[in-house]
Amino acid sequence: MNLALHPFTLRQLQYAVAVAETLSFRRAAERCHVSQPALSAQLAQLEDALGVRLFERDQRRVLPTVAGQELVDRARQTLVAADEVVGAAQRARDPLAGRLRLGVIPTISPYLLPSATPAFRREFPRLTTVWVEDKTEVLVRGLNSGVLDGVLLALEAEIGELDHEVVAVDPFVLAMRPDDPLAARSAPAELGDLADVEVLLLDDGHCFRAQALAYCSRAQARELEFRATSLATLVQMVAGGTGVTLLPRVAVPAEALRAGLAVRPFAEPAPARTIVLAWRKRAPIAPALRKIAAVLREVASRSVLVPTSRARPTRRRSRAR
């Protein structure tokens, strides 16, 4: 990269572009809010510095020279790049006026983002939020590499040394067909209820699978060979008569109830996950992300999740991936 001092200023480039676009020194001076002699003097200095005549001018008209037109086109590109530098600095001062790249795991995104998106538009009208949906491991890697600014995931997963804000506690429920014997009981489900019961779970790589599997293993349930790639597939398989499954409660309205499944909560201590918004330690945009987390908490409090006032402490209960 050339670190030599350039023999011109951005202001001189602005004057040149203004003249090329208006084809008039007078109108260009008015656009740039300077006097015409001052603009002419600056353009003369620019031509001397470059060693190229930029404009043909007489009493009737102004036209860019062939070389001048090429240089004006490049000057316009330079001014656009300079504007981007200013914009980047403004976004650094106020991240809620720029673009945030946020990751989210698939077992959260379909159930919180439809309500969170309009809330963000209302609370942060100058913010553009770009959401990336993927598994926890991929999102954490993207966060640590700087590709993402924050991630919405479960605290119980292995997320490394990240700062975070709790959004909500999401208890698990037992989902089954209405004619399943387990659906006939109204009391909360206990470990003994799942003994030797066939259970469907998500595929490897989903942190929700690890948490649900840990609970089912303690209950001595039998995991079926089929492993789903989404909660929607799980509930459709159960609705078709294949076993029972565990769901995060945030997914109940969209998945279990729509599929006509019966659900039972679990007896305490019930399995659950802690949904958090996480970011890199000492990230300069941490204050903005805390505001984002506050809006997500408000959205979550209007859903079937545990209100934040009852949320558990921000500590991990397991190290499951």
Question: How far is 313 from 199, CA to CA, in rounded Å?
Answer: 30
Question: How far is 5 from 115, CA to CA, in rounded Å?
Answer: 52
Contact 107, 206 (CB under 8 A): yes
Same-domain pairing of 198 and 316: yes
Same-domain pairing of 240 and 262: yes
Domain stop point among 50, 76, 93: 93
Domain stop point among 59, 93, 127: 93
Same-domain pairing of 77 and 117: no
Nearest alpha-carbon partner for 127 in 118, 136, 139, 115: 118
Token digits for 272?
Answer: 């659950």
Buried b (16+ CB within 10 A) or exposed e, 205-214: ebbbbbbbbe
pTM of the model as a whole: 0.68
What CATH code is carried by the domain that includes residue 66? 1.10.10.10
Distances (CA, A) of 135 to 46, 77, 110, 184, 208: 55, 39, 14, 35, 10
Q: Looking at residue 130, what is its pLDDT?
A: 93
**Residue 4, domain member (yes or no):** no
Find tokens 């300077």 and name the residue. Answer: 34
Using the 8-state DSSP alphabet, how is residue 229 labeled? S
**Residue 2, domain member (yes or no):** no
**Residue 5, domain member (yes or no):** no
Q: Looking at residue 97, what is its pLDDT?
A: 81
Same-domain pairing of 83 and 108: no
Q: Looking at residue 6, what is its pLDDT?
A: 82
Q: pLDDT by residue (tens digit) across 67-96?
A: 989 999 999 889 888 876 776 676 667 778
Same-domain pairing of 66 and 149: no
**Residue 3, domain member (yes or no):** no
Question: How far is 14 from 18, CA to CA, in rounded Å?
Answer: 6
Find tokens 């309009």 and name the residue. Answer: 118
Q: What are phi and psi of 124, to 5 degrees?
A: -130, 75
Burial class (CB in 10 A: 0-12, 13-18, 19+), 259: middle
Cα-Cα-Cα-Cα dihedral of 100, 106, 107, 110, to 10°?
70
Please spell the DSSP secondary structure of 152-199, one letter per residue.
Answer: EEETTS---SEEEEEEEEEEEEEEE-TTSGGGG--SPB-GGGGTT-EE
Same-domain pairing of 252 and 193: yes
Using the 8-state DSSP alphabet, how is residue 271 labeled? -
For residue 222, give the 3-state DSSP assignment.
strand
Q: Looking at residue 167, what is its pLDDT?
A: 95
Same-domain pairing of 139 and 233: yes
What CATH code is carried by the domain that includes residue 261? 3.40.190.290
Question: How far is 111 from 168, CA to CA, in rounded Å?
Answer: 13
Partners of 174 in beta bridges: 246, 264
Domain stop point among 93, 120, 142: 93
Domain assignment of residue 118, given as a range: 102-321
Q: Which residues of the chain are under the pLDDT cut of 70? A: 1-4, 84, 87-88, 90-92, 304-321
Same-domain pairing of 52 and 107: no
**Residue 280, domain member (yes or no):** yes
Same-domain pairing of 78 and 162: no
Same-domain pairing of 139 and 236: yes
Contact 161, 280 (CB under 8 A): no
Same-domain pairing of 69 and 166: no
For residue 94, give the 3-state DSSP assignment.
coil
**Residue 81, domain member (yes or no):** yes
Using the 8-state DSSP alphabet, how is residue 188 labeled? P
Question: How far is 42 from 12, CA to CA, in rounded Å?
Answer: 6
Question: In this structure, is the dihedral angle defined by the CA atoms of residues 175, 181, 186 and 191, taken in order, positive or negative?
Answer: negative
Q: What are phi and psi of 30, to 5 degrees?
A: -65, -40
**Residue 1, domain member (yes or no):** no
Same-domain pairing of 47 and 75: yes
**Residue 251, domain member (yes or no):** yes
184 contacts: CB under 8 Å, gap ≥ 6 = none
Number of domains in the chain: 2
